[in-house]
Each structure stands twice: as structure tokens, then as C-alpha cells.
Amino acid sequence: MLIGSKDKNALRWVARWGDGWRPILLTPDQMKTELAKLREECARAGTSYDRLDLTIMRQNLRGGRPEVQTGLRQYEDLGVPRFVVMLIANRLGPDNFESELQRIAESYI
């Protein structure tokens, strides 16, 4: 079970019952703080933090490829191996869908 709730009890739920955590819109600094809390919750629950599948879900990182790659590394350095780009549906349409996906691919891959 992957948990992505913003509820105040979410980290406790992840530690007790979850296989992973999927927060949204956290900066690297916020993620670092929350991961420390999650480690504490795992210790309280008697479960292994290392078993958790961690992913951050965010809108695009700003900047060109070098800045985006630096941003991705910040999450990776925290032990978060997966970054999901959240696309805002009202920003995509038939006229820009292909070009927007190309821009994202060039920045992230």
C-alpha cells in the first residue's frame, strides 16, 4: 500500500501499514524534515524505514536542464529515487501537448 495523504497521521500510517510514501509538492528541505519524522515513526512502530518505496510528486522544477538535474539530485541525495512530474491538465491542450512533453523530457531525462 502506497500512502500519499497530507493528514497529520499519514507518516504514522506509512510506518505501520505502508509499503511506501508518495507526498506531493514538498521542497527538498521539507522532504528532509518529513523523512526524519518518518524514520522516527518507523522506529516507534518497530518497522524498517529502509523497506519503504519513496516517491516525490511535484509540478515541474524550474530552470533549464542543469537546474532541473540539480533539483532531482537533491531528492535523490535524500534517498528518494523517484520523481513524478505532475502536469496541470488545464495547461495542456492539443496545441501544446507534444511540445510540453518534449520540453519536460529534455529537462528531466
pLDDT in tens, 76-95: 999 999 999 887 666 777 88
**Is the domain 2-108 a CATH 3.20.20 member?**
yes
Domain boundaries along the sequence of the chain? 2-108
Q: Give per-residue pLDDT as tens, 31-85.
A: 999 999 999 999 999 999 999 999 999 887 888 889 989 999 999 999 999 999 8
Task: Provide CB contacts within 8 A for 39, sequence distance 6+.
Answer: 49
Query: Which helix H or strand E contains 85, and what residues bound it?
Result: strand 82-85
Predicted TM-score (pTM) of this structure: 0.84
* pLDDT at res. 6: 82
